[in-house]
């Protein structure tokens, strides 16, 4: 393909951004790579859908898909998938490298049974990078030496991202974090209502600005804690029902509720500057919507655990 604006275009789900970012950082040392979070400035003021299609359709020598479900079903990856299919029909399937991240997922039916696939668990980061570079060279690309100017550009982009991320975790970010926590709690409450209606599982959910309480035979409490240094989201599982509002519970014969599990989430930014959460440094980035799903699933798992143990919850409430 001559000329090509990019040597490589990366398509991936938001949850797999850490892997995509690692590939981008290494490949960019000698190649020109389209990586959406770092290329958002190029898309400003353009037709977003067409701008997202073009790198995968015509403007890249090699297209790399980091695949796990539901890639191809989310709004942006659906656009990218269509462009990739059209581009491969136009330029040949050899330009596609399909990197599978989850061996249990079913591959798309349109994917040909050829050498375009590789398993990330088997190849790892280094061999995946080598395979991509080899395919770029086969397609006429040239591995350029890393120059001081290019390295300085990489450093500036990384420093800008680190600065923005650090600001989010500073004491001055409380108001911003509180806004997104309110959206998270709304999503959790909506999901609880859907579970109650669709599956006939009675789930109560109460919330205020600082806490969201899910309750049935047991309780799960999500609390926002902000200090002079940072904000964090605490998720705690209890083996019994906790009181809501002005309720008073009496527990017998085996004592007060016990904390079964405790986890924390820190506010975070992905490289597209979208707000979200991480459970620990280096963990996958979670949008508030994804975290709401995780919290409700965790609560249902808790109910199953308590039920299997024969938990009796609160025997009397007044």
pLDDT score at 134: 95
The predicted structure's pLDDT at residue 82:
95
Which helix (H) or strand (E) is 121 found in, with range? helix 120-138
- Residue 209, classed as helix, strand or coil, is coil
Q: Which of 41-50, 153-162, 230-239 has the lowest mean pLDDT?
A: 41-50
How large is the average pLDDT for residues 213-221? 94
The number of distinct structural domains making up the chain is 2
Return the pLDDT at 250. 65
Residue 237 shares a structural domain with residue 294? yes
Domain of residue 34, CATH code: 3.40.50.10140
pLDDT score of 314? 42
Residue 27: is it exposed, middle or buried by C-beta count within 10 angstroms (0-12/13-18/19+)?
buried
Q: How far apart are CA 93 and CA 206, in angstroms?
A: 52
C-alpha span between 33 and 71 (Å, rounded): 20
Q: On the CB side of 256, how many CA atoms lie within 13 Å of its CA?
A: 3
Does residue 114 sit in the same domain as residue 230? no
Cα dihedral 219, 224, 227, 230 sign: positive
User: pLDDT band for position 317 (50/70/90)?
Assistant: very low
Digit-coded pLDDT (tens) for 224-273: 998 877 789 999 999 888 988 777 766 656 678 889 999 999 999 876 67
Within a domain: 158: no
DSSP state of 286: B
pLDDT at res. 281: 74
Size of the chain, expressed as the number of residues it contains: 318
d(CA 148, CA 84) in angstroms, rounded, equals: 33
Q: Is 261 found in the same domain as 191?
A: yes
Within-domain flag for 164: no
One domain, residues 24 and 114: yes
Angle at 202 (CA atoms; ends 198, 204), nearest 5 degrees: 115
Residues 82 and 194 grouped into a single domain: no
Query: Which pLDDT does position 41 carry in this prediction?
Result: 52
Residue 310, domain member (yes or no)? yes
Residue-wise pLDDT tens digits, 46-75: 555 677 889 999 999 999 999 999 999 988
Which own/partner contact pairs does 310-316 have at CB distance under 8 Å and 24+ positions apart? 311/217, 311/218, 311/239, 311/240, 312/217, 312/240, 313/217, 313/218, 313/240, 313/241, 314/240, 314/241, 314/243, 314/249, 314/250, 314/251, 315/250, 315/251, 315/252, 316/249, 316/250, 316/252
pLDDT of residue 261: 93
pLDDT at res. 221? 97
On whether both 229 and 302 belong to a single domain, the answer is yes
Q: Is residue 236 part of a domain?
A: yes
d(CA 207, CA 244): 10
* 140 and 243 belong to one structural domain: no
Of 148, 96, 140, nearest to 118 by C-alpha is: 96
Query: 273 in the Ramachandran plot: left (φ > 0), alpha (ψ -120 to 50) or beta?
Result: left
Query: What SS3 state is found at 159?
Result: helix
Q: At what angle do helices 48-57 and 75-91 cross, to 10 degrees?
A: 40
Query: Which domain-ending residue is among 129, 146, 163?
Result: 146
Asked if residue 130 lies in contact with residue 136, where contact means CB atoms within 8 angstroms, the answer is no
Same domain, 137 and 214: no
Distance CA 114, CA 94 (A): 9
At 83-141, the pLDDT tens digits run 999 999 999 999 999 999 988 889 999 998 877 889 988 888 889 999 999 999 999 99
Q: Is the pLDDT of residue 318 over 50?
A: no
Task: Find, among 21, 73, 81, 39, the residue nearest to 56 by Cα.
Answer: 81
Residue 207 β-bridge partners? 212
309 shares a domain with 177:
yes
- Whether residue 81 is contained in a domain is answered as yes
Does residue 306 share a domain with residue 180?
A: yes
Cβ-based neighbour number of residue 228 at 10 Å: 5
What's the token pair of residue 219?
């309780």
**d(Cα 81, Cα 103) in Å, to the nearest integer?**
20
151 in any annotated domain: no
127 and 208, same domain (yes or no) = no
User: Which residues span the domain enclosing 91?
Assistant: 6-146
Domain boundary among 111, 146, 181: 146
Report yes or no on 152 lying in a domain.
no
Record the tokens describing residue 214, joined without a space. Answer: 């899910």
Distance CA 70, CA 13 (A): 8
Same domain assignment for residues 98 and 229: no
Please indicate, yes or no, if residue 71 is contained in any of the structural domains: yes
Is residue 234 a contact partner of residue 228, using CB atoms and an 8 Å limit?
no
């Amino acid at each position: 393909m001559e000329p090509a604006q990019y040597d490589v275009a990366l398509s991936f789900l938001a949850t797999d951004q850490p892997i995509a970012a690692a590939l981008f950082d290494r490949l960019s040392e000698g190649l020109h790579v389209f990586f959406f979070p770092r290329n958002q400035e190029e898309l400003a003021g353009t037709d977003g859908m067409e701008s997202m299609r073009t790198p995968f359709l015509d403007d890249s020598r090699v297209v790399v898909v980091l695949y796990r479900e539901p890639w191809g079903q989310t709004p942006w990856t659906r656009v990218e998938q269509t462009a990739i299919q059209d581009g491969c029909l136009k330029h040949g399937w050899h330009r596609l490298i399909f990197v599978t991240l989850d061996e249990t997922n079913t591959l798309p039916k349109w994917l040909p049974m050829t050498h375009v696939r590789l398993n990330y668990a088997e190849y790892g980061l280094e061999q995946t990078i080598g395979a991509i570079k080899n395919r770029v060279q086969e397609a006429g690309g040239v591995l350029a030496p890393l120059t001081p100017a290019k390295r300085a550009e990489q450093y500036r982009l990384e420093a800008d991202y680190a600065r923005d991320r650090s600001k989010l975790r500073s004491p001055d970010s409380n108001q911003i974090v509180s806004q997104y926590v309110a959206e998270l709690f709304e999503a959790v409450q909506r999901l609880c209502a859907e579970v109650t209606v669709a599956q006939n599982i009675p789930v109560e959910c109460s919330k205020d600005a600082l806490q969201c309480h899910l309750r049935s035979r047991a309780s799960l409490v999500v609390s926002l804690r902000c200090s002079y240094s940072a904000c964090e989201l605490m998720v705690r599982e209890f083996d019994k029902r906790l009181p809501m509002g002005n309720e008073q519970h009496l527990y017998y014969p085996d004592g007060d509720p016990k904390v079964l599990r405790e986890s924390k989430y820190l506010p975070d930014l992905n490289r597209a500057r979208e707000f979200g959460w991480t459970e620990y440094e280096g963990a996958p980035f979670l949008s508030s919507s994804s975290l709401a799903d995780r919290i409700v699933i965790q609560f249902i798992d808790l109910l199953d655990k308590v039920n299997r143990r024969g938990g009796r919850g609160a025997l009397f409430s007044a």
